[in-house]
Amino acid sequence: MTDPHSPAAASGAFLLGGDLPVHRLGYGAMRITGPGVWGEPRDPGEAIRVLRRLVDLGVTFIDTADSYGPNVSERLIRTALHPYPDDLVIATKGGFIRPGPSQWVPNGRPEYLRRQTEQSLRNLGLDRIDLYQLHRIDPQVPVEESLGELSLLQQEGKIRHIGLSQVSVAELEQARRLAEIASVQNRYNLADRDSEDVLEYCQAAGLAFIPWFPIATGRLADPHGPLAAIGKSHGATPSQLALAWLLRRSPVILPIPGTSTVAHLEENVAAASVRLSDEEFETLTKAA
């Protein structure tokens, strides 16, 4: 059981799907694979150390996908952490085929999603996946078919909650008419807020919003920019401020910064303790 005074606990808590308590600052496990999100990591030992250290720091939410490697990220998580702590929630995703490094091809066919779900169960050593996310809506497959299969897997007890990734408000509304949706994972950060409307929808509906690429700061990290000035007052890095801003932005946001080193992991988790004032939050919000 995670220490309630652990560093990650400072990020606050969220009830994922209405029944899974997690610390809001999680971990994205894409970066523990090789270049191009392909193959084994350059330093497998450090990848294992990262995964074990995040549990020590109180991280209770890990996000991965069958396409990371492919399969490498899920297998490393099992190697490092199985049998899992009781309070650890592992989310994974399916819906991409990987022909090669940095290549991503959507596949939302029901038979493919079923095969990949069962593969993820084996990779992770689980009987049920707490949160299974459709990695992308496949434009070649009716979403009714993709979500229909995930709903069947949910009824069979292989999936606890269903999530979506990189969707619009219209797509989310359509999906919610077909299945009970617990989360949305879209690209969103201090410098890139194209999914602002999706975040606001999730907040109103009480759905988890999981921003990927959460620590991007763009031009805001300029030495003479607002991040530098505010960071100096907190003794914080631009990345830590970007995470602190996300945690302040909405109570439904669950940032999942990823890294392949323990040092960077510890820096990211320390962001949970950075408290922005109202003025600092507004300055950063308006600057982007």
**Using CB atoms within 10 A of its CB, is residue 45 exposed (0-12), middle (13-18) or buried (19+)?**
exposed
Average pLDDT for residues 90-111, to the nearest whole number?
98
Answer whether 0.85 is exceeded by the pTM: yes
Residue at token pair 């914080």: 236
* Alpha-carbon dihedral 254, 212, 198, 196, rounded to 10 degrees: 100
Alpha carbons 201 and 105: distance in angstroms, whole number: 28
| Domains of the chain in sequence order | 8-287 (3.20.20.100)
Please give the pLDDT value at position 204.
98
- At residue 277, does pLDDT exceed 70? yes
Q: Cα–chain-centroid distance for residue 107?
A: 20
Please give the pLDDT value at position 265.
98
Q: How far is CA 202 from CA 78, 112, 186, 193, 196, in A?
A: 31, 28, 11, 14, 10
Please give the pLDDT value at position 93.
98
Please answer whether residues 282 and 55 qualify as being in contact, where contact means their C-beta atoms are separated by less than 8 angstroms: no
Among candidate residues 68, 112, 188, 201, the one labeled active-site is 68
Please answer whether residues 191 and 211 qualify as being in contact, where contact means their C-beta atoms are separated by less than 8 angstroms: no
- At residue 71, does pLDDT exceed 70? yes
- At residue 288, does pLDDT exceed 80? no
Q: CB 13: neighbour CB atoms within 10 A? A: 13
- At residue 246, does pLDDT exceed 70? yes
Alpha carbons 220 and 228: distance in angstroms, whole number: 8
Residue 115 neighbours by CB under 8 Å, 6+ apart: none
- At residue 258, does pLDDT exceed 90? yes
How many percent of the chain have pLDDT more than 90? 92
Alpha carbons 165 and 195: distance in angstroms, whole number: 11
Q: Which of 96, 32, 34 is nearest to 62 (CA)?
A: 32
Where residue 222 falls among pLDDT bands split at 50, 70, 90? confident
Where residue 1 falls among pLDDT bands split at 50, 70, 90? low
Please give the pLDDT value at position 152.
98
Average pLDDT for residues 129-150, to the nearest whole number?
98
DSSP state of 92: E
How many percent of the chain have pLDDT more than 70? 99
- At residue 3, does pLDDT exceed 80? no
Average pLDDT for residues 59-83, to the nearest whole number?
98
Q: Is 192 helix (H, G, I), strand (E, B) or coil?
A: strand
pLDDT in tens, 19-66: 999 999 999 999 999 999 999 999 999 999 999 999 999 999 999 999
Examine the residue annotation and report whether 68 is marked as an active-site residue of this protein.
Answer: yes
- At residue 5, does pLDDT exceed 90? no
Q: Is beta strand 96-97 parallel, antiparallel or unpaired with respect to 105-106?
A: antiparallel
pLDDT, averaged across the chain: 96
